[in-house]
Structure 1
């Protein structure tokens, strides 16, 4: 004689509940994946639209530049050459490789000076913000030198270091140091004390607080200074190369001025503008890769 089982319907109901929960989780995961894919698709679409608008802006600028000497007859094309003339003057320099030599030397100087400024600026900014005695001792000197234009140091740099590569790199490092230092100093100094006390209550030492709390909190300030220093490096590069140089973009522009070849001078101006834009875009790309949670203004 067999008896009906009472547990089987209960187990069946439990199994159905588990299956329903698993289906709900799967639906949630699928919805999250679709949301992520839609977000990435929209971001790619915005990026393509932005690139298209950037290219359109460049094209409109070149068209206006080309048309100005033809529309306004009082403008002398020899003093304001259109892009076609500038490109015509650049082709022989490209074929001979001379232009790439000037570009390479200028980039080497700018990168060397910027790296030195980056290391010194962040180091001095952290030290002066974290050590009050060092801050009070160095404050009048650093703020005083920060007000001295980089161009005013050119004669002294040539006198001290000669006309080699040392004064050029030193001038670029001088100009790029102060934006990085002052923003690092402000960011580290203004770190919320609540963060430090919370880290200390969890057992974090001074070094752990510095690397895990202070520097991440000061990161927006530091990145702003680094971005500004990139532009300053190119500005000081021109002054540095004009102080006795035989190669470089600014030297090429100076040579064009002496030979009254205005097209050569415009080539240098265009290159400096392109390098400034590319350096800024590269900075934003590296920032997004290293700090995906940080969104900077483009």
Structure 2
């Protein structure tokens, strides 16, 4: 005689937590957890630019209020309107454009020399243990010296002409490029080097296809530091018996107590630094588009 059939299990009440009634879990992401569609690239770019402008606009507003309320003497800090009038006068007379062109030439020349020297030294010390022993300690010692403290020695060696100004900028640029590029070269994954060696790549091909792409993020970071440092050093370098340049314009204004012209020069330097950093960041974003990194939200 066969056993009676087992009773059917009671029906489960429907669940409200999104899990099927049979207890199974679907593989994937529930529709409720889908990310919201991202904003258009153009709108996001405009938002970023507007957000970065908030800080300078706040400083400008505070400056305007301080001048309007006479919290500070106009001799020490002229009003924004006075500085703007001085800038318009310099532009209309052509003085600002002429001196700006001279400063750009010095900065770009010094930056180019510093980049070549810094990358070359980084490749030597990063790829050769002997070169690191011979070069790195010397670079570190010179890097520890204040660049502007070398100014008297550079004047004795090269005089007070253009080479001195360009050399000071080149020295200042070399060290951040060297440090960051050298560290990036040493951080290249050894497995990539072994794979390239296994595939029969020679020394030059290894550097071109493995070392340089791996060191690119470090180089671009050093380039960001270098561009800002080049303008900082140029401010002082252009006050060494210069006959043109933004620094020379500021020095001439100091002799006649034209604080408004001095502030115009400082603003020009600040804008140049911001512009150069923005350009490097754009290059960094394009060159490292393959890299997946954490983005601030």
TM-score using structure 2 length: 0.82
Matched, 1:107 2:108: no
What is the match of residue 131 of structure 1?
Answer: 128
- How far did residue 172 of structure 1 move? 0.2
User: 1:198-240: per-residue Cα shift (whole Å, max 9, x none)?
Assistant: 1111221221111111111121111111110011100110121
Structure 1 position 172 matched with structure 2 position 169: yes
Instruction: Tell me, yes or no, if structure 1 residue 187 matches structure 2 residue 191.
Output: no
Q: Distance in 2 between matches of 1:161 and 1:144?
A: 22
- Kept in 2, the 8 Å contact 1:158–1:243? The answer is no
Looking at structure 1, the residues matched to 291 and 162 of structure 2 have their Cα atoms a distance apart, in angstroms, of 37
Q: Residue 281 of structure 1 corresponds to which residue in structure 2?
A: 278
Distance in 1 between residues matched to 2:50 and 2:221, nearest whole Å: 27
Q: Structure 1 residue 61: deviation in Å? A: 2.6
1-structure distance, mates of 2:214, 2:275 = 27
Partner of 1:6: none
| Matches for 1:9-158 after TM superposition, within 5 Å | 42-71=40-69, 73-158=70-155
| Deviation of the 1:149 alpha carbon | 0.9
Contact 1:288 1:294 in 2 (8 A): no
Q: Name the CA distance, whole Å, in 1 between partners of 2:136 and 2:247.
A: 34
Residues 185 and 214, structure 2, Cα contact 8 Å, conserved in 1: yes
Q: Which residue of 260, 263, 266 corresponds with 2:257?
A: 260
Taking a change above 3 Å as real, the CA distance of residues 295 and 286 of structure 1, as seen in their structure-2 partners, is farther
Q: Identify which of 209, 214, 219 aligns with 2:211.
A: 214
- Structure 2: which 5+ residue stretches go unaligned? 1-36
| CA drift at 1:52 | 2.4
Change (3 A) 1:129 1:49: same
CA distance in 2: counterparts of 1:81 and 1:140, whole angstroms? 48
Asked if structure 1 preserves the Cα contact closer than 8 Å seen for 2:220 and 2:280, the reply is no
Shift of 1:56: 4.2
Inter-partner Cα distance in structure 2 for 1:295 and 1:105: 40
Give the number of aligned pairs: 259
Q: Secondary structure at the match of 2:75?
A: coil
C-alpha displacement of 1:58:
3.3
1:205 aligns with 2:184: no
TM-score (norm 1): 0.82
| Whole-angstrom distance in 2 between the partners of 1:162 and 1:133 | 35
Q: Please give the alpha-carbon distance, in whole angstroms, between the structure 2 residues aligned to 1:264 and 1:286.
A: 33
Give the CA RMSD over aligned residues: 1.8
Counterpart secondary structure, 2:40: helix
